[in-house]
Structure 1
């Protein structure tokens, strides 16, 4: 029989589909590769070679040796001509920023991948090829449990371009809530490319677009403007893009998407929410994985533009971690001693862009830009984080360190530009609401730092006679306690100022949503500090009247916001304390009644001054109000985080 020779015909399927025996629609890229986010691997061979011999083990070893020699020669050439895409670990243990497939991944110098320097890039190339040739296993995402879908299904939720244009414009023109981590010039270029062929868009960039649309829609809802698509729809699509795009592999835009998604989910919520803290943990760990905690100067492969944008992302992440961790009464998740990323420069978006080769010098802090608020707040935040770590120490912190931290935070605040120091809102009629809120945030952070630093000195006075012997322990304790109460009273005064500005006709009336849960928490902790002082001082103390008046005013303000869970707790707590403080003098001396009330009502008992104030007991009491925690309520209803 005559042997029939087979003709070498061009293959109809792309290489990935042929190797996996998957259905290929012959697109460029095909739908299968788009769904797997492997558009770059979707390639078609010019002709099929059926007689090509298979590589033996010896051939593969020879190829590997040749590849190593070629790589060494190529690296030597790149070193002379241009920066390499790989930055080797240095003697300072700076670690390595590996760019695999264009995606940054940080590897510490102690990791085995950093130790294997000789053949590192070859191994990476081989492992990348092996990953492309292996069918991915289905993943279960515990953070975003959403159903996987194709890009065509996700695009069905995209509104018409004119609507998208309006929402994108609203996001980039928002002043107070816009995180300065997306460069508008770069985004506009990518945005135009997206509309040319949306089906070819990388899944994570699509997630970035949906996160921006979701945040802009949330802002519209908060300000009472009409919306075309609910913000929740955009948030659901954002989560799907994150999962399908495999954000956990530390891909480009993953951090930015998560930051905007968290902001969109929790903006305008005046109640504390522990989910915010849990999601921040994901953001922080992803930032570590991508090396954001190390300054980009360690990695010359990064462009000036990339370096500056990474510093911006890290600055925002660092601040959110400090604030949210403190709100949850938990240690910060970012160990400062292992981070050296410098602050970003005070530059407008017009000062630098993707094509910038040399960054311009930083503008003066008196020049307003989208970044200056974050920079100024970072100065106070750095000291605040030291204070929180100092107070959370397992051993009694030395008084000398307490004094030094008090001086440091006061000096830091005093050095801030005058236009970022708060005055009465009624005297700030030239300031826009976003500028007022920026000043308030910085002032509250400063006052909160002083109050937290000296919080442990709120206890029964060591010398009721009023004599304060200089240099004695009692004198130091009294002085620190007074500093704590002074800061708490200033915070409560700012609460009154903001409340008046939020009334009809006030400067903040149409922007009440700006009062986030973080500032709400500040007012609560200040009120609790004053309550604690009133529960321990004599009814005849001179300051008692001013403290009680401030508490009554705060209680009245909270009564106007009882639709919020935190406000409901504040009204109940302050109401009980005020009633007991007002009638405390009449009940003094009746020890039997006090002990009976301690059994029936722990709040009444602890406020009688019959021993130390038991905040754990107070926490249990408020968790038991209204029959305890109802189904669907947040389990973190206690008051442990108020101290």
Structure 2
């Protein structure tokens, strides 16, 4: 389809690449020159479809995805997606990017199924199948690239679901080894398609297309924030370049490709957690930008961020809905937003004469209490509730650790003051959580990190019980754990270095301790989030690790 001059100009203004744009069968924009590889592409699609499960099994895993994962990000419009899937199974021509999207979604459905089944053999089989479907999704996008197939929303959405799959794996290895090296490519393509610009600036998109472009972009934004926070890398997206509006607050059943207008609902819908992640991710970006622009952050800027945090906390729905999924989302939201409050205030407890010292101390203690309470509930639900809502422990363990150690720092620094017993109990709770996680952990990177976390929280617990005094020096520019054994004890806390006085240090086995320290430095685990956010849980920002 040949574009008119006006259409090309509209796309230039919108930030899209105007060369070779044409309308796809799926009704989304594509960015690529015309290609004569259609026949080869359809042959590849047939081969990929032969690697998928049967129709009945596909329907089962798609239903699991819709029930447990779709509400995290609403990456697709479910009624439209399901209609297209039905056509795909009947032999109607499709695209490699849509096959990649279907395979990625089914991989997540199988992932959920692996949490539910009772048999160990069945669980192992479902995990293997989910990994095969994930690889099928990756292969489909690689084939699309090799055929120079045009980029479309399906391509970006497939990348997002691949990312979400990795974030729900038991170990964090897939995030670093598979997703992050490729994530920058997805972000670049999304911006090449102009998704970061609000589609309302152009009259080339219908109301439905505008909504789906916004959803797709904000998923890219959320996962970029979540992944970068978890891995302590700079994000790919620059907030200054983003003008895309937040998607509409409306249920999927109330919109379709034929609608002419989409109105926001005033009541809370099942999209609240998705919107929370959008706003939390943007707030994380604002705080990061502020710290880069104002190393000596002004009190006015801090007050503005604090007000935004309070507003975001107030947006979390009340605990009137006993739905387990809703409760899990609430816990993740509280965990992530309170960790952002700790990030905001921890620089102000460096010196007791700072104007914000008292209020910062109070805010940090309260936020850390909320983090530990939320994490405790996440652990309970993950281990004893609906296993389909399982959250990998690397999502929340850094939050528990940071909150427990930060409370200990505040109490030790102000040992002459009386604080409510609840904060001492919080350290005990953090200790018990890590004790449980460490005992149940299998061998591997995650289990080693959990054991190190447990050891450090145990040390802080002992210091509190002994009533030892401590002087604290905080370096807000430090971005990773700093632990050493040089006559003084330093605790692994992002941005915090605590030097103790007259604290007996056990040097019986320093080599094993240093080995553990090296492991922490190597994988760069620290408080984040968003970040999840994000994931995430990521998730949860989903925000895990975020």
TM-score tier (shorter): 0.7 to 0.9
Shift, 1:512, TM fit: 5.5
Q: Distance in 2 between matches of 1:239 and 1:316?
A: 18
Contact 2:398 2:527 in 1 (8 A): no
In the alignment, structure 2 segments of 5+ residues that lack a partner are: 472-483, 503-509, 529-544
Matches within 5 A, 1:23-422: 75=4, 85-88=7-10, 94-96=14-16, 98=18, 100-102=21-23, 128=33, 132=36, 150-174=44-68, 178-197=72-91, 200-224=93-117, 226=122, 230-246=129-145, 250-269=151-170, 273-275=175-177, 276-356=179-259, 358-366=260-268, 368-369=269-270, 371-393=271-293, 395-414=295-314, 416=315, 420-422=316-318
Shifted more, 237-246 versus 273-282: the winner is 273-282
Q: Distance in 2 between matches of 1:447 and 1:314?
A: 26
1:599 aligned counterpart, secondary structure: coil
Structure 1 residues 300 and 373: CA distance shift in structure 2, 3 A: same
Cα RMSD after superposing both structures: 3.9
Contact 1:211 1:257 in 2 (8 A): yes
Structure 1 residues 354 and 89: CA distance shift in structure 2, 3 A: closer
Shifted more, 377-386 versus 291-300: the winner is 377-386
Structure 1 residues 438 and 501: CA distance shift in structure 2, 3 A: closer
Q: Distance in 2 between matches of 1:254 and 1:511?
A: 27
Structure 1 residues 516 and 432: CA distance shift in structure 2, 3 A: farther
- Residue 515 of structure 2: aligned partner: 625
Q: Distance in 2 between matches of 1:386 and 1:511?
A: 34
- Residue 396 of structure 2: aligned partner: 519
Structure 1 residues 518 and 386: CA distance shift in structure 2, 3 A: farther
In the alignment, structure 1 segments of 5+ residues that lack a partner are: 1-39, 41-70, 77-83, 108-123, 137-148, 463-473, 589-596, 612-619
Q: Which has the higher helix share?
A: 2
Normalising by the residue count of structure 1, what TM-score does the alignment of the two structures yield?
Answer: 0.66
Shift, 1:204, TM fit: 1.8
Structure 1 residues 457 and 329: CA distance shift in structure 2, 3 A: farther
Count of aligned pairs between the two proteins: 482
- Residue 324 of structure 2: aligned partner: 433
Q: Distance in 2 between matches of 1:385 and 1:306?
A: 27
Higher relative contact order (CA 8 A, sep 6+): 2
Q: Distance in 1 between matches of 2:132 and 2:317?
A: 39
Query: 2:419 is matched with which residue: 506, 522, 543?
Result: 543
Deviations 1:432-475 (Å, cap 9, x if unpaired)?
1111122223322332222111011232534xxxxxxxxxxx34
1:259 aligned counterpart, secondary structure: helix
- Residue 447 of structure 1: aligned partner: 338
Shift, 1:431, TM fit: 1.5
Q: Distance in 1 between matches of 2:249 and 2:327?
A: 20
Deviations 1:275-313 (Å, cap 9, x if unpaired)?
554444333222112111000112222222111111111
Q: Distance in 2 between matches of 1:586 and 1:296?
A: 58
Shift, 1:557, TM fit: 0.8
Contact 2:334 2:374 in 1 (8 A): no
Normalising by the residue count of structure 2, what TM-score does the alignment of the two structures yield?
Answer: 0.76
Contact 1:569 1:622 in 2 (8 A): no
Deviations 1:250-296 (Å, cap 9, x if unpaired)?
34411111111111222153758545544443332221121110001
1:454 aligned counterpart, secondary structure: helix
2:347 aligned counterpart, secondary structure: helix
Q: Distance in 1 between matches of 2:84 and 2:239?
A: 35
- Residue 112 of structure 1: aligned partner: none
Shift, 1:207, TM fit: 1.3
- Residue 484 of structure 1: aligned partner: 364
Structure 1 residues 602 and 218: CA distance shift in structure 2, 3 A: same
Q: Distance in 1 between matches of 2:212 and 2:180?
A: 24
1:253 aligned counterpart, secondary structure: helix
Deviations 1:409-430 (Å, cap 9, x if unpaired)?
223433x2xxx3355xxxx6x5
